Amino acid sequence: MVISDTQSGLAMAIAVAMTESALFPPVVPLVSRNRYFTRKKLLKKLEANGNGARINALLDSMRASSPTRRPTDTEDHNSWILHHPSALNMFEEIMRASKGKQIVVFLDYDGTLSPIVEDPDRAFITTEMREAVRDVAKLFPTAIVSGRCRAKVYNFVRLSELYYAGSHGMDIKGPAKGHTHRKGNQTVLCQPAREFLPMIDEVYKALMENVKYIPGAKVENNKFCLSVHYRCVEEKKWGELGDQVKLVIKDYPQLRLTQGRKVLEIRPTIKWDKGNALEFLLESLGYAESDDVLPVYIGDDRTDEDAFRVLRERGQGLGILVSKTPKETNASYSLQEPSEASYAVPQTFGGVEEAVRTKALE
Ligand SMILES: [Mg+2]
């Protein structure tokens, strides 16, 4: 279907969103000329091949996942927004879906609560966004789920009433004592990859050594995983960077390489991702098998897809992808950029709460 302009596309999207089955519209593959489709194939190839063959596809995959230029494709975008309507327009639907249910909010950090900036150490959250998150956490259990080290995310956000899942969910801690959404007296704590700590440290040092000659490359120690940022590396050096990373991790079959936006990530091979973190947190809150919960997850990255997929498999909750451009995703809704999240989050959830209160007074 071709929509002639964004306005009518959005109107149709909202109409679709209002239908009963719209919480989980089917995952719509993008047309083959779309580069994301190519990227998916590349990533599959990476996963299918052994370490030796990986690097051949790694550079292509780095380019595909971190485009420096992108052609405008109105047709693709309109078709995509039809299947992933803006979360800004979904208030009515959340109202309906949340009736009698406990909303639990999950938020990615980089690219969702903060903009993607050149220096990852300066990916600060704005005061408005912090206030928005604080307001939401007053109403609902709220968790930040990030690839970063938990302590670093906490230092950015600085809200002790939240759950924090750092290192892609491999380091989870609940709110400090005395907060509303804390479960009993027990501190929620989960670190399934603890035994990998010495190895991660060793690889961190080796990576620092190997990439120090590549201008702009930055290695970040996220405690249970490592990130090699290349957002400040010239594209002609990406191949060399990929080579160096591969050189280091080839001796560590217990570690695997994954990708985010302009970042290579090294993590333990254990099956534990943001999706597992979401499930662990729901279980900790007492909603493991419950139908009375509405998890809402907002994220911008490929790693957030694991959480979107869990929501889709549970047939429960709302996945919202922050993206300006069409992407293959398991999320059902979209936001264009982080600043929209600071607007959408309090408006939508605050609205839900107000409606619940009004209803109770009737
Ligand atoms: Mg992100």
Per residue in 295-322, pLDDT tens? 999 999 888 999 999 999 999 889 999 9
* Residue 237 confidence class, pLDDT cut points 50, 70, 90: very high
- My answer on whether 111 and 138 are in the same domain is yes
**Tens of pLDDT along 26-69?**
565 554 334 444 444 444 443 444 444 444 677 877 777 665 54
Range 187-202 average pLDDT: 90
Q: Which of 211, 241, 268 is the last residue of a domain?
A: 268
Cβ(196)–Cβ(224) below 8 Å:
yes
User: For residue 93, how far is its CA from the centre of ligand 1 (angstroms)?
Assistant: 25
Domain stop point among 241, 268, 295: 268
Q: Specify whether the CB–CB gap between 168 and 277 falls below 8 A.
A: yes
Question: Both 129 and 158 in a single domain?
Answer: yes
User: Of the candidates 327, 348, 323, which has an alpha carbon nearest to the alpha carbon of residue 27?
Assistant: 327
Instruction: Tell me, in angstroms, the distance from the centre of ligand 1 to residue 1's CA.
Output: 30
Q: Mean pLDDT in the chain?
A: 79
CA distances from 222 to 57, 172, 276 (A): 25, 13, 18
In a domain, 94, yes or no: yes
Total count of domains within the chain: 2
The predicted model gives 7-15 an average pLDDT of: 35
Residues lining ligand 1 (ion), CB within 5 A?
108, 110-111, 300-301
- 247 and 296 belong to one structural domain: no
Task: Kindly state the average pLDDT of the residues 69-92.
Answer: 75
Is 174 found in the same domain as 110? yes
CA 358 to ligand 1 center in whole angstroms = 35
Domain hosting residue 176, numbered range: 80-192+272-361
Query: Do residues 181 and 161 lie in contact, with contact meaning Cβ atoms separated by under 8 Å?
Result: yes
Domain closes at, from 205, 234, 268: 268
Kindly tell me the burial class for residue 17, based on how many C-beta atoms sit within 10 Å of its own C-beta (0-12, 13-18, 19 or more). buried
Rounded to an integer, the average pLDDT of 70-98 is 76
Active site residues: 108
**CA 322 to ligand 1 center in whole angstroms:** 9
Residues 180 and 278 in one domain: yes
Residue pointed to by tokens 């909010």: 105
One domain for residues 95 and 136: yes
Provide CB contacts within 8 A for 157, sequence distance 6+: 109, 113, 125, 130, 133, 144, 164
Q: What angle do CA 261, 264, 266 make, to 5 degrees?
A: 135
The answer, yes or no, to whether residue 182 has pLDDT greater than 70, is: no
pLDDT recorded at residue 43: 42
On the question of pLDDT at 289 being above 50, the answer is yes
